[in-house]
Amino acid sequence: MTGTLLSLGHGYSAQALARRLIPLGWRVIGTTRSAARAAALAAGGVEPLVWPGADLAPALAQATHLLTSVAPDAAGDPVLRAEGARIAEARQLRWVGYLSTTGVYGDHAGGWVDEATALTPTTERGRARVAAEAQWAALTLPLHIFRLAGIYGPGRGPFEKVRDGTARRILKPGQVFSRIHVDDIAQVLAASIARPNPGAVYNLCDDDPAPPEDVLSHAAALLGLPKPPGVPFDQAEMSPMARSFYAESKRVRNDRIKTELGVRLLYPGYREGLAAILATEAQTRSST
């Protein structure tokens, strides 16, 4: 099966999906806010649209599938604010995907959550995501919601900060996060496109939730470097965004992507994922 995917806010995760779909014969139209970024998307085989700005109507009329990676703002979902009526009328869409976050579950003091867990976000960001999920569900399109844990992968991991000496292990007893490699996000989205189940909600995370300081220590060990210095959470200099992540601690279950979509994770834990990133870096260096 092939089709035309309209990817709104064509960022890191959506690009990984496009790398899977385009070789199979898919047409991918991706929006970006930057003309410079549009050129980079075109180089990867994506048809770029600088949006807001360009008319979205022709692309939306041609799309068989739609993915939105655009985060809500204080006023709600900006995609629906600008194009909601038009999207609601796009009845030719066979699959719609919304990339949300496991932040919708709130804090569980390190306990486990799954897709049936009540949505009790404790941050403004989480509350905005709950509202956006509801807005998209109200359109009565073939919607699939994907709640993503912390995303990492090539170009987005701990190695650079460990190498340049700026990494710090933030020490907060009991803190634990789930995470997901970007290539596993792509394979879950592709599996859902192949087996649509409108109304479904999926947690996207690996099998190994862990304290963030453990991940940094392992990254340093892979590089043959000392573990980064530890800083107590209440003494750490952090951005408001980074600090908000530490307001919640939970372990996220991923059984549904396995049982319903038949997904077998490429990187079931951060150890496998970090090793793969280093291997990719080494391969890139050897080929240049």
Cross-strand partners of 144: 97
CA nearest to 158, candidates 251, 221, 67, 241:
221
Yes or no: say if 206 and 273 are a contact pair by the CB < 8 Å rule: yes
CA nearest to 141, candidates 194, 65, 82:
65
pLDDT at residue 243 greater than cutoff 90? no
**Per-residue pLDDT tens over the stretch 123-169:** 999 999 999 999 999 999 999 999 999 999 999 989 999 999 999 99
Radius of gyration for the alpha carbons in the chain, expressed in angstroms and rounded:
19
Token pair recorded at residue 157:
């991991």
What is the arithmetic mean of pLDDT over 38-57?
95
Q: Which residues of 83-99 are buried (b: 16+ CB within 10 A; e: fewer)?
A: bbeebeebeebebbbbb
Task: Note the Cα 200 to chain centre separation in Å.
Answer: 17
What is the arithmetic mean of pLDDT over 229-240?
93
Q: What is the pLDDT of residue 183?
A: 98
Q: pTM of the entire structure?
A: 0.96
**Per-residue pLDDT tens over the stretch 192-227:** 999 999 999 999 999 999 999 999 999 999 999 999
